[in-house]
Amino acid sequence: MIALIARAHLTPEASAAVDQLLRENPIDPTLNRFCKDRPTDLMADSATWADDARNIEKTGEWHYIDIPLAIDTGAVLAGDALKWCPPLTDGRPGCILTAIDYESSILRDAKQPGAARAKALRYLIHFLGDLSQPLHATDNHDRGGNCTAITFFPEANPDSEKPKNLHAIWDYELLARELASTKTTQPEYARKVDESFSSGWNMWGQAKTDIPGWVWESHKLAGSVAYGDLKPRIPIEPATAGLADQAGCDMERDKVAALHISIGDEYATEALPVIREQLAKAGYRLAGLLNQTFK
């Protein structure tokens, strides 16, 4: 949906350049794609590639930045996010913040091979989407909400399967439920979001690219909404590196499960307006970045 929103705001030159790069350097047809009902729009089809290829490309760390939830966004400078973004052992970018900068430089370099620039474009389409999801910019010793156990709309599904994790709820569960309940397709929903936030184009689509600022923006939303609106709230852990091993993840999941947190209409009413705005921001910011790149 973010790719479709961006597409609607590309200049004719940028739109043509994007399609040419993606058409002339297609995705490996042997790659197992999670989304089987692949869209015809090349940008929308490319939007999920970075997840499909993350193990092959060894870029799992590029999809997030684990800034502790305890960090007060009101007392930080934009560059402080780099503290939580050490490079990988091979010198490559270590988080979404530096990965966006790295791939942007490849895309802007017309001397780079077309295949490399097309890959960079696919990464940027995906990462601007990931960055707009607050739990890709925060951690509470729980891998950005992945190591949690929360009941999701139990009144509608009294015999539902095992509890969801907060990260998945923000990645797609809330949106999927919204689409199903309104009988709306993803392209239709993208158009409605675009129409609702059209006044934000000048502010978000034509502003200077500010990846560190967008990181802190998402991090703040994680604290105020994604975690902040939970009842009861999950205790905020000390601002240290998150627990990365499986034992730590299991321990955190058990701690959250013991709180018996349930997400229903009240939480969705607070979260969905934020999600819709984040979709619009990401789409407009992606369009702005690509318009400048292919100017």
Burial of 231 (0-12, 13-18, 19+ CB in 10 A): exposed
At 246, is the pLDDT very low, low, confident or very high (cuts 50, 70, 90)? confident
Question: Do residues 148 and 142 lie in contact, with contact meaning Cβ atoms separated by under 8 Å?
Answer: yes
Question: Do residues 45 and 58 lie in contact, with contact meaning Cβ atoms separated by under 8 Å?
Answer: no
For range 76-81, the mean pLDDT: 74
Amino acid at residue number 295? K
Dist CA 231 CA 274 (whole Å): 18
For residue 75, the model assigns a pLDDT of: 66
* Sole residue written with tokens 């930045």: 65
Two tokens, residue 168: 């998945």
Please write the tens of the pLDDT for every residue from 163-214: 999 999 999 999 999 999 999 999 999 999 999 999 999 999 999 999 999 9
Tell me which H or E stretch contains 209.
Answer: none
CA 159 to chain centre: 30
For residue 161, the model assigns a pLDDT of: 64
Two tokens, residue 236: 């905020």
Is 78 a residue whose pLDDT tops 70? no
For residue 160, the model assigns a pLDDT of: 58
Question: Do residues 118 and 24 lie in contact, with contact meaning Cβ atoms separated by under 8 Å?
Answer: yes
Helix axes 96-108, 114-132, angle to 10 degrees: 150
For residue 124, the model assigns a pLDDT of: 98
**Domains in the chain and their CATH numbers?**
2-293 (1.10.575.10)
Is 270 a residue whose pLDDT tops 90? yes
Please write the tens of the pLDDT for every residue from 26-54: 999 999 999 888 899 999 999 999 999 99
